[in-house]
Structure 1
Amino acid sequence: MFNKIAFVSYSISDMKRSVDFYQSTLGFQLLFQVDEWAEFMIGDQRFAIRQTCEAIQQNAAMLHLETDNIEDAIARLQAQGVAIHQTVKSHDYGKLAAFLDPDGNLIGLYEAPRPTGSQSK
């Protein structure tokens, strides 16, 4: 029925500010921008933002970005003034943290567990 998720999008209030955040701060590759819509690539996935004049409902969905070093990613984001929502928490299934975009959309960070002992063979 479905092949894959085509893209994830967030509603935002200020296109210029948000394009700058996702492109410059997070390093997403801007594919195109038209009127109230912009699309980016992150790895082999598409991510979009849509400017709206409606009230933005924060945290209706959550984008998670995978990283090899979550502590380094959080430090880099903090150095750029990004609001950290949740500090790094370690679990059996990996490490999680979260930060906010300029409109308060929650973005998660995920670091997969590293294989140890017999799992790494």
Structure 2
Amino acid sequence: MFKKIAFIHYDTQNLERALTFYRDILGLPLLVQNEEWIEFDVGGQRLALRQVDSSPSPTSGTGSAGAMIWLETPAMARALSHLDKNNINLINDLQEFSYGKMAIFEDPDGNP
């Protein structure tokens, strides 16, 4: 029935700030940009952000109704250092599991 995720979408109150974060800080390639919508390529998946007038109402403490995007990197220490240098808020410290390492951070709108 369903073949794949078409895209993942977050709302943002500041599209320019989101553009800077996802393109310049996270290094995601920009695919689409207009006055109300931007899309990025995340390893073959699309991440979309839509300009809205009010902030999302989170249901689980932070972010857009509890949704989360998981990004993979082969260089976790370097990625965390880069986020720190850009004053990106880490929600938790680096954690190690049997399947790998994980840290959660927020985008400028508080989305994890």
TM-score where L is the length of structure 2 = 0.88
Query: Match of 1:118?
Result: none
Query: Match of 1:15?
Result: 15
Letter in structure 2 aligned against 1:56: P
Misfit runs of 4+, over 6 Å? none
Aligned pairs (5 A) from 1:13-92: 13-57=13-57, 58-60=63-65, 61-92=67-98
Identity of aligned residues (%): 41
The count of residues paired between Structure 1 and Structure 2 equals 106
Query: Match of 2:60?
Result: none
Letter in structure 2 aligned against 1:94: G
Q: Structure 2 unaligned runs (5+)?
A: 58-62
TM-score where L is the length of structure 1 = 0.82
Q: Give the Cα–Cα distance (whole angstroms) in 1 for the partners of residues 22 and 55 of structure 2.
A: 21
| CA apart distance, 1:54 | 3.0
Q: If you compute each CA radius of gyration, which structure gives the higher value, 1 or 2?
A: 1
Query: Match of 1:116?
Result: none
Q: Structure 1 unaligned runs (5+)?
A: 107-121
| RMSD of aligned alpha carbons | 1.1
Q: Give the Cα–Cα distance (whole angstroms) in 1 for the partners of residues 64 and 19 of structure 2.
A: 19
